[in-house]
A = this chain, B = another copy of it.
Protein backbone atom coordinates (compact mmCIF):
# COMPACT_ATOMS: atom_id res chain seq x y z
CA UNK A 1 0.00 0.00 0.00
CA UNK A 2 1.41 3.35 -0.99
CA UNK A 3 1.26 6.35 1.29
CA UNK A 4 -1.42 8.83 0.24
CA UNK A 5 -1.51 11.31 3.12
CA UNK A 6 0.96 12.86 5.52
CA UNK A 7 -0.32 14.14 8.86
CA UNK A 8 1.89 16.39 10.93
CA UNK A 9 2.59 17.15 14.51
CA UNK A 10 2.80 20.95 14.67
CA UNK A 11 4.34 22.30 17.92
CA UNK A 12 8.07 21.62 17.62
CA UNK A 13 7.81 19.72 14.33
CA UNK A 14 6.39 22.36 11.97
CA UNK A 15 6.77 25.48 14.11
CA UNK A 16 9.48 26.71 16.47
CA UNK A 17 7.22 27.44 19.42
CA UNK A 18 10.01 28.37 21.83
CA UNK A 19 11.69 31.17 19.86
CA UNK A 20 8.29 32.52 18.90
CA UNK A 21 6.96 32.62 22.46
CA UNK A 22 10.21 34.26 23.63
CA UNK A 23 9.80 36.89 20.89
CA UNK A 24 6.18 37.55 21.93
CA UNK A 25 7.25 37.84 25.57
CA UNK A 26 10.01 40.28 24.71
CA UNK A 27 7.58 42.41 22.70
CA UNK A 28 5.26 42.57 25.69
CA UNK A 29 8.16 43.14 28.08
CA UNK A 30 9.36 46.19 26.15
CA UNK A 31 5.84 47.60 25.85
CA UNK A 32 5.11 47.17 29.56
CA UNK A 33 8.61 47.56 30.97
CA UNK A 34 8.68 44.04 32.44
CA UNK A 35 11.84 42.27 33.55
CA UNK A 36 11.22 38.59 32.86
CA UNK A 37 13.32 35.60 31.77
CA UNK A 38 11.19 34.94 28.70
CA UNK A 39 12.96 31.68 27.83
CA UNK A 40 12.10 30.31 31.26
CA UNK A 41 8.58 31.70 30.81
CA UNK A 42 8.19 29.92 27.45
CA UNK A 43 9.50 26.67 28.92
CA UNK A 44 7.13 26.92 31.90
CA UNK A 45 4.17 27.58 29.62
CA UNK A 46 5.02 24.58 27.48
CA UNK A 47 5.71 22.39 30.52
CA UNK A 48 2.16 22.98 31.73
CA UNK A 49 0.68 21.66 28.52
CA UNK A 50 0.84 17.92 29.00
CA UNK A 51 -0.49 17.98 32.60
CA UNK A 52 -3.34 20.26 31.44
CA UNK A 53 -4.26 17.81 28.68
CA UNK A 54 -4.19 14.94 31.12
CA UNK A 55 -6.53 16.74 33.50
CA UNK A 56 -8.86 17.56 30.61
CA UNK A 57 -8.87 13.98 29.42
CA UNK A 58 -10.50 12.95 32.67
CA UNK A 59 -13.29 15.48 32.49
CA UNK A 60 -14.82 17.90 30.04
CA UNK A 61 -12.81 18.37 26.86
CA UNK A 62 -11.43 21.86 26.27
CA UNK A 63 -9.44 23.12 23.31
CA UNK A 64 -5.83 24.15 23.51
CA UNK A 65 -6.55 27.88 23.64
CA UNK A 66 -8.47 27.28 26.86
CA UNK A 67 -5.72 25.04 28.27
CA UNK A 68 -3.04 27.59 27.35
CA UNK A 69 -5.02 30.26 29.17
CA UNK A 70 -5.28 28.19 32.33
CA UNK A 71 -1.52 27.63 32.35
CA UNK A 72 -0.87 31.28 31.52
CA UNK A 73 -2.91 32.45 34.52
CA UNK A 74 -0.65 30.34 36.74
CA UNK A 75 2.68 31.40 35.23
CA UNK A 76 1.81 35.11 35.16
CA UNK A 77 1.60 34.75 38.93
CA UNK A 78 4.76 32.63 39.13
CA UNK A 79 6.80 35.14 37.10
CA UNK A 80 5.28 38.08 39.01
CA UNK A 81 3.83 39.61 35.84
CA UNK A 82 1.12 41.96 37.03
CA UNK A 83 -0.89 44.85 35.70
CA UNK A 84 -1.90 43.36 32.35
CA UNK A 85 -5.38 44.11 31.06
CA UNK A 86 -7.70 41.30 30.01
CA UNK A 87 -7.12 42.28 26.36
CA UNK A 88 -3.33 42.10 26.87
CA UNK A 89 -3.59 38.66 28.49
CA UNK A 90 -5.84 37.41 25.69
CA UNK A 91 -3.39 38.73 23.11
CA UNK A 92 -0.50 37.02 24.91
CA UNK A 93 -2.46 33.76 25.11
CA UNK A 94 -2.92 33.87 21.35
CA UNK A 95 0.87 34.03 20.91
CA UNK A 96 0.46 30.33 20.08
CA UNK A 97 -1.40 31.44 16.95
CA UNK A 98 1.60 33.56 15.93
CA UNK A 99 4.32 30.91 15.94
CA UNK A 100 6.85 30.87 13.11
CA UNK A 101 7.57 27.76 11.07
CA UNK A 102 11.08 26.34 11.08
CA UNK A 103 12.85 27.86 8.04
CA UNK A 104 12.84 24.65 5.97
CA UNK A 105 9.08 24.10 6.31
CA UNK A 106 7.19 26.27 3.78
CA UNK A 107 9.18 25.15 0.72
CA UNK A 108 9.39 21.50 1.79
CA UNK A 109 5.66 21.39 2.58
CA UNK A 110 4.85 22.74 -0.89
CA UNK A 111 6.94 19.92 -2.40
CA UNK A 112 5.23 17.30 -0.24
CA UNK A 113 1.81 18.61 -1.30
CA UNK A 114 2.55 17.76 -4.93
CA UNK A 115 2.59 14.06 -4.01
CA UNK A 116 0.54 13.70 -0.81
CA UNK A 117 -2.54 15.06 0.92
CA UNK A 118 -1.23 17.06 3.86
CA UNK A 119 -2.87 18.02 7.14
CA UNK A 120 -1.85 18.85 10.67
CA UNK A 121 -2.73 16.18 13.21
CA UNK A 122 -2.06 18.36 16.19
CA UNK A 123 -3.44 18.98 19.64
CA UNK A 124 -3.90 22.57 18.48
CA UNK A 125 -7.44 23.61 17.61
CA UNK A 126 -8.65 24.44 14.10
CA UNK A 127 -8.51 28.24 14.53
CA UNK A 128 -4.90 27.94 15.69
CA UNK A 129 -4.09 25.78 12.65
CA UNK A 130 -5.70 28.33 10.35
CA UNK A 131 -3.71 31.19 11.86
CA UNK A 132 -0.40 29.30 11.65
CA UNK A 133 -1.13 28.32 8.05
CA UNK A 134 -1.88 31.90 6.98
CA UNK A 135 1.16 33.23 8.83
CA UNK A 136 3.59 30.67 7.44
CA UNK A 137 2.19 30.15 3.95
CA UNK A 138 1.20 26.54 4.58
CA UNK A 139 -1.49 25.16 2.28
CA UNK A 140 -3.05 22.27 4.18
CA UNK A 141 -5.67 20.13 2.47
CA UNK A 142 -7.60 20.03 5.76
CA UNK A 143 -7.02 20.88 9.42
CA UNK A 144 -7.25 17.62 11.36
CA UNK A 145 -6.31 16.65 14.90
CA UNK A 146 -7.85 17.26 18.30
CA UNK A 147 -10.78 19.47 17.23
CA UNK A 148 -11.95 16.87 14.70
CA UNK A 149 -11.44 13.97 17.13
CA UNK A 150 -12.64 15.71 20.30
CA UNK A 151 -9.62 14.40 22.18
CA UNK A 152 -5.86 14.82 22.44
CA UNK A 153 -2.90 12.78 21.18
CA UNK A 154 -1.65 10.25 22.03
CA UNK A 155 -5.22 8.88 22.25
CA UNK A 156 -5.83 6.45 19.37
CA UNK A 157 -8.97 8.21 18.16
CA UNK A 158 -7.02 11.35 17.23
CA UNK A 159 -4.77 9.45 14.78
CA UNK A 160 -7.62 7.29 13.51
CA UNK A 161 -10.00 10.23 13.01
CA UNK A 162 -7.35 11.86 10.80
CA UNK A 163 -7.14 8.73 8.62
CA UNK A 164 -10.94 8.48 8.52
CA UNK A 165 -11.24 12.10 7.45
CA UNK A 166 -9.16 11.24 4.38
CA UNK A 167 -11.15 8.00 3.81
CA UNK A 168 -7.88 6.11 4.18
CA UNK A 169 -6.82 3.08 6.18
CA UNK A 170 -4.05 3.93 8.68
CA UNK A 171 -1.38 2.16 6.63
CA UNK A 172 -1.84 4.69 3.82
CA UNK A 173 -1.17 7.61 6.22
CA UNK A 174 2.18 8.68 7.61
CA UNK A 175 2.47 10.60 10.85
CA UNK A 176 5.38 13.06 10.72
CA UNK A 177 6.79 14.32 14.01
CA UNK A 178 9.96 15.35 15.79
CA UNK A 179 8.89 13.33 18.85
CA UNK A 180 9.32 9.57 19.15
CA UNK A 181 6.47 9.37 21.67
CA UNK A 182 4.00 10.69 19.10
CA UNK A 183 5.33 8.34 16.42
CA UNK A 184 5.17 5.34 18.72
CA UNK A 185 1.49 6.04 19.37
CA UNK A 186 0.79 6.56 15.66
CA UNK A 187 2.55 3.31 14.74
CA UNK A 188 0.61 1.40 17.36
CA UNK A 189 -2.57 2.51 15.56
CA UNK A 190 -1.28 1.30 12.20
CA UNK A 191 0.02 4.53 10.69
CA UNK A 192 3.37 4.76 8.94
CA UNK A 193 5.85 7.08 10.63
CA UNK A 194 8.37 9.73 9.61
CA UNK A 195 10.74 11.41 12.07
CA UNK A 196 12.42 14.73 11.57
CA UNK A 197 15.12 16.08 13.84
CA UNK A 198 14.48 19.37 15.63
CA UNK A 199 17.58 19.43 17.76
CA UNK A 200 17.02 22.97 19.05
CA UNK A 201 13.38 22.59 20.02
CA UNK A 202 13.83 23.35 23.75
CA UNK A 203 16.97 25.43 23.24
CA UNK A 204 20.31 24.49 21.63
CA UNK A 205 20.83 20.72 21.39
CA UNK A 206 17.84 19.72 23.45
CA UNK A 207 15.61 18.01 20.88
CA UNK A 208 15.71 14.50 19.42
CA UNK A 209 18.57 14.17 16.91
CA UNK A 210 16.92 11.00 15.66
CA UNK A 211 14.07 8.65 16.50
CA UNK A 212 14.30 6.48 19.62
CA UNK A 213 11.67 4.10 18.23
CA UNK A 214 11.51 2.24 14.91
CA UNK A 215 10.19 4.48 12.12
CA UNK A 216 9.64 4.07 8.38
CA UNK A 217 11.75 7.08 7.46
CA UNK A 218 13.84 9.68 9.26
CA UNK A 219 15.07 13.03 7.97
CA UNK A 220 17.42 15.72 9.18
CA UNK A 221 14.60 18.18 8.56
CA UNK A 222 11.46 18.40 6.43
CA UNK A 223 13.39 19.06 3.23
CA UNK A 224 15.42 15.90 3.81
CA UNK A 225 12.22 13.96 4.52
CA UNK A 226 10.73 15.25 1.26
CA UNK A 227 13.84 14.01 -0.58
CA UNK A 228 13.50 10.60 1.04
CA UNK A 229 9.80 10.39 0.16
CA UNK A 230 10.65 11.05 -3.48
CA UNK A 231 9.21 14.55 -3.76
Contacts and interface: CB of A to CB of B under 8 A. Distances in A.
A229 interface: no
A166 B117 contact: no
A167 B65 contact: yes
A217 to B, nearest CB: 23
Given A125-B167, A147-B148, A139 B139 contact: yes
B117 A130 contact: yes
A141 interface: yes
B130 A141 contact: yes
Contact of A126 (B65, B127, B139, B165): B165
Contacts of A126: 142, 144, 148, 165-166
A134 to B, nearest CB: 7
Contacts of A65: 167
Contacts of A144: 126
Nearest to A130: B141
Interface string A107-138: 00000000001000000011101100110000
A6 to B, nearest CB: 13
25 contacts: A65-B167, A117-B130, A125-B165, A125-B167, A126-B142, A126-B148, A126-B165, A126-B166, A127-B165, A127-B166, A127-B167, A127-B168, A130-B141, A130-B142, A130-B166, A134-B141, A139-B139, A140-B142, A141-B143, A142-B142, A142-B143, A143-B143, A147-B148, A147-B165, A148-B148
Given A125-B167, A130-B166, A139-B139, 19 more contacts: A65-B167, A125-B165, A126-B142, A126-B144, A126-B148, A126-B165, A127-B166, A127-B167, A127-B168, A129-B142, A130-B141, A134-B141, A140-B142, A141-B143, A142-B142, A142-B143, A143-B143, A147-B148, A148-B148
